[in-house]
């Protein structure tokens, strides 16, 4: 599934093509996504200027003139490509955003777990956004915040930091990598971690996400950016997907367990 760095990479790739352009048409070729695309959406957005392309968690937000906008979630296999108007469609191109600058944004989603919604402003009030936790790259996210939220929590720390109500966008890949860098065992109870360790964990979450954004995301399964190119952060992974392989730091064999129905790899020597 595309995680925060992949979505942010897509946002940065789309912005130069979208901002200031008019959305002259929204063509819904396949409305049966995770939730059905509203039949009224093309009418609501037609001939409106795109003021900005923002991101909230893993949602891309297209802010339109005269209030309102669209929320796009890439789902498990979704991507958005910028193509010249009239380009041939691929098999799983489900939605076309046709711009007045001779380009189109094509939402491609083989598994159809993505979604597209219209929302009135402020977009933060949309039901899918209003209960989300802070952005991990914002000033609102820090060790003190994690420490306060974790008190009396028996939940393992890895699913704790992956909970979008606690903090958005820390998916399986980057949670595993941040915990490794901090030396925290992923199964340790969230309520039994000290303030100092949470400060280091918050810093490592921020750093690993920032590095992945700068590189362009992680190449896993179907992810491509807005140009149809894969990301390359996978080359820098220390633990994710490396169960049974030697630790890059101490050469111990990496172990695999399941936490919150997610495969989790860690180093038994480096992480306590």
Measured between alpha carbons, how far is 84 from 82 in angstroms, rounded to an integer?
7
Radius of gyration of the chain (CA): 20
| Residue 133 within a domain | no
Same-domain status, 84 and 147: no
| Residue 134 within a domain | no
Contacts of 86 (CB under 8 A, 6+ apart): none
Cis peptide upstream of residue 122 (ω within 30 degrees of 0): yes
Same-domain status, 156 and 77: no
Q: Which residues are catalytic?
A: 2-3, 58, 262
| Residue 33 within a domain | yes
Same-domain status, 18 and 92: yes
pLDDT, one tens digit per residue, over 154-170 is 999 999 999 999 999 99
CATH, residue 40: 3.20.190.10
Please state the pTM of the whole predicted model.
0.87
pLDDT, one tens digit per residue, over 107-125 is 999 999 999 999 987 888 8
Same-domain status, 17 and 111: yes
pLDDT, one tens digit per residue, over 125-184 is 899 999 999 999 999 999 999 999 999 999 999 999 999 999 999 999 999 999 999 999
Sheet order of strands, 22-28 included? 79-84, 103-108, 93-99, 22-28, 48-56, 59-64, 69-73, 115-119
Q: What are phi and psi of 119, to 5 degrees?
A: -145, 145
Q: What angle do CA 138, 220, 229 make, to 5 degrees?
A: 85
Same-domain status, 152 and 59: no
92 assigned binding-site residue: yes
| Residue 130 within a domain | no
55 assigned binding-site residue: no
To 10 degrees, what angle do helices 172-182 and 195-215 make? 130
CATH, residue 208: 1.10.8.50
| Residue 154 within a domain | yes
Q: Which of 19-23, 189-193, 231-235 comes out lowest in average pLDDT?
A: 231-235
Same-domain status, 241 and 148: yes
Pairing of strands 79-84, 93-99: unpaired
Domain stop point among 91, 125, 159: 125
224, 79 Cβ separation under 8 angstroms: yes
Q: CA torsion angle for 221, 36, 60, 122 (degrees, to 10)?
A: -160
Same-domain status, 153 and 254: yes
Measured between alpha carbons, how far is 233 from 181 in angstroms, rounded to an integer?
15
Domain that holds residue 59: 4-125
pLDDT, one tens digit per residue, over 214-265 is 887 554 444 455 566 555 455 578 999 999 999 999 999 999 999 988 899 9
Same-domain status, 115 and 173: no
Same-domain status, 152 and 106: no
Find the mean pLDDT for residues 50-56. Answer: 96
Same-domain status, 150 and 247: yes
User: What is the pLDDT confidence band of residue 25, given thresholds at 50, 70 and 90?
Assistant: very high
27 assigned binding-site residue: no
Domain stop point among 125, 158, 182: 125
Measured between alpha carbons, how far is 191 from 134 in angstroms, rounded to an integer?
19
| Residue 131 within a domain | no
| Residue 101 within a domain | yes
To 10 degrees, what angle do helices 143-150 and 195-215 make? 120
Same-domain status, 147 and 111: no
**Domains of the chain: total:** 2
Same-domain status, 234 and 151: yes
| Residue 241 within a domain | yes
């Amino acid at each position: 599934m595309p995680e925060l760095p992949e979505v942010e990479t897509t946002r940065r790739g789309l912005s130069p093509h979208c901002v200031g352009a008019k959305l002259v048409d929204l063509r819904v070729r396949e409305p049966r996504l995770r939730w059905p695309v509203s039949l009224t959406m093309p009418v609501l957005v037609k001939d409106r200027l795109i003021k900005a392309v923002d991101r909230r968690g893993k949602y891309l937000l297209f802010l339109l003139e005269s209030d309102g906008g669209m929320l796009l979630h890439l789902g498990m296999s979704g991507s958005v490509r910028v193509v010249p108007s009239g380009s041939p469609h691929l098999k799983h191109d489900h939605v076309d955003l046709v711009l007045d600058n001779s380009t189109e944004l094509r939402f491609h989603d083989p598994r159809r777990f993505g979604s597209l919604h219209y929302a009135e402003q402020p977009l933060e009030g949309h039901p899918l956004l209003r209960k989300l936790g802070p952005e991990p790259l914002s000033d609102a996210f820090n060790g003190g915040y994690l420490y306060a939220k974790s008190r009396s929590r028996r939940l393992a720390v890895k699913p704790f930091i992956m909970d979008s109500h606690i903090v958005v966008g820390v998916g399986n890949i980057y949670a595993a990598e941040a915990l490794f860098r901090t030396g925290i065992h992923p199964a340790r109870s969230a309520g039994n971690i000290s303030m100092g360790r949470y400060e280091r964990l918050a810093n490592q979450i921020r750093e690993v996400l920032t590095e992945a954004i700068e590189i362009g995301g992680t190449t896993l399964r179907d992810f491509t950016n807005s140009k149809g190119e894969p990301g390359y952060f996978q080359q820098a992974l220390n633990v994710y997907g490396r169960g049974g392989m030697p630790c890059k730091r101490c050469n111990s064999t990496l172990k695999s367990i399941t936490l919150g129905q997610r495969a989790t790899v860690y180093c038994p020597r480096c992480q306590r």
